[in-house]
Amino acid sequence: MDAAPSVATRPIRPLPEEAARLAWVDVAKGLCIILVVMMHSTLGTGEALGGEGVLHDVVEFARPFRIPDFFLLSGLFLGRVIDRDWRLFADRRVVHFAYFYALWVVIQSLFKAGAIVAGAEGPADKLAAFGLHLAEALVVPYSTLWFVYLLAVFSVVTKLLHRRVPPAVLLVAAAVLQILPTSGLPELLDEFCERYVYFLGGTLFAEAIFRFADGVRARAGLALAGLALWAVLEAVFVFTPTGIEAAPTLARLPVVSLALGTVGALAIVAFASLMTRAGGPVTAALRTCGERSIVIYLGFFLPMALTRTVIVKFNEARPDLALDVGLASLIVTAAAVLAPLGFERLVRGTRLDFLFRRPAAFHIAPAPASPARLRPAAAPREA
């Protein structure tokens, strides 16, 4: 007889309530992906224009919770498949992400081929340099795609350990890894140590997080007061310097960063729940971004770079009309979010559909027959 379900494997509340519950998850993911794109767009634009703008403060404010919340949300639905056979599990949680990672590593690398093969002489040497680059990307997450790579790694590690290690012990170990200084480790290990605790927390406490979101919607006034208090404290920690090179602000101190990441992730859950309750066009837009968060994540790099280049050239040509860093960063962010969504909609159902939807040939288990299947490149939610 199977053992009683653990916290990690207990089924999340079924339909019909599930549709409403998934709405806030998509809103939260939408907000997070916008913040991620904003970070890359703002920092790159500031560097290109030689200054900082108002969005730099927004980016810094979001630093403690931006990625932690994304991983926490990604772990929420692992319990649906974690106890399934390895073939189905691998199809949903490994092959799914591996397909998009490998495809977009090649796409991004082709656009950056000039820099990748710089210094190589002759076609053979250049081809060898490019091939070595692709081989390295198999073990070292490439560029912005490291998030997709780690989702597969986190899923496999959690499945391997969840029946062998008590959840409390596993969670404490993950927290210790986050607290320890790991910046000298290889990039994959460093990111694993820094982020795994949030993914694991989303998996272990999925049902509690859903109950928390339900409670927020039921007590909106109290939730708003709590969010206001969190925002003030977050700003204090983020913008208070320490004078320590390794942790220049209070928010980057060991233990403090873990606490702010956890509380901030829950604050985004609360915010998304309130937005879902309120409804409206902003909520709908955030939910659309959340439903296609990986589409945006995979495709934002090129429109971001192109828009930034156009703005830099415009500022050089027309200094009298030059855009300031804040406005330029906002324009680059908007283009980097909207262009992938528009392109995905344009190629949907065409031969280029494979860019955002995994073809049947790349499934190792039957594709799920559910509405979630219609969502492009979305993290699998079905059992």
Q: What is the pLDDT of residues 226-275, one digit of tens each?
A: 999 999 999 999 999 999 988 999 999 999 999 999 999 999 999 999 99
Dist. CA 50–CA 41, nearest whole Å? 14
* pLDDT tens string 305-331: 999 999 999 999 999 999 999 999 999
Dist. CA 338–CA 293, nearest whole Å? 11
pLDDT over 80 (residue 6): no
Residue 168 has a pLDDT of 96
Residue 327 has a pLDDT of 97
pLDDT over 80 (residue 194): yes
Dist. CA 310–CA 208, nearest whole Å? 47
* pLDDT tens string 288-305: 999 999 999 999 999 999
Strand partners, 249: 241
Torsions phi, psi for 249 (to 5 deg):
-130, 165
Q: What percent of the chain has pLDDT over 90?
A: 80
Tokens of 340: 């992938």
| Averaged pLDDT for residues 200-204 | 96
- 39-48, 138-147, 215-224, 262-271: lowest mean pLDDT where? 138-147
Question: Residues near 331 by Cβ (< 8 Å), separated by ≥ 6?
Answer: 307, 311, 323
Instruction: Indicate the domain borders of the chain.
Output: 16-357
- Write the DSSP assignment of 89-155 as a string of letters: HHIIIIIHHHHHHHHHHHHHHHHTHHHHTTT--HHHHHHHHHHHHHHHHTTS--GGGHHHHHHHHHH
- Binned at pLDDT 50, 70 and 90, residue 20 comes out as low
From residue 227, alpha-carbon distances to 190, 273, 287 in Å are 31, 12, 20
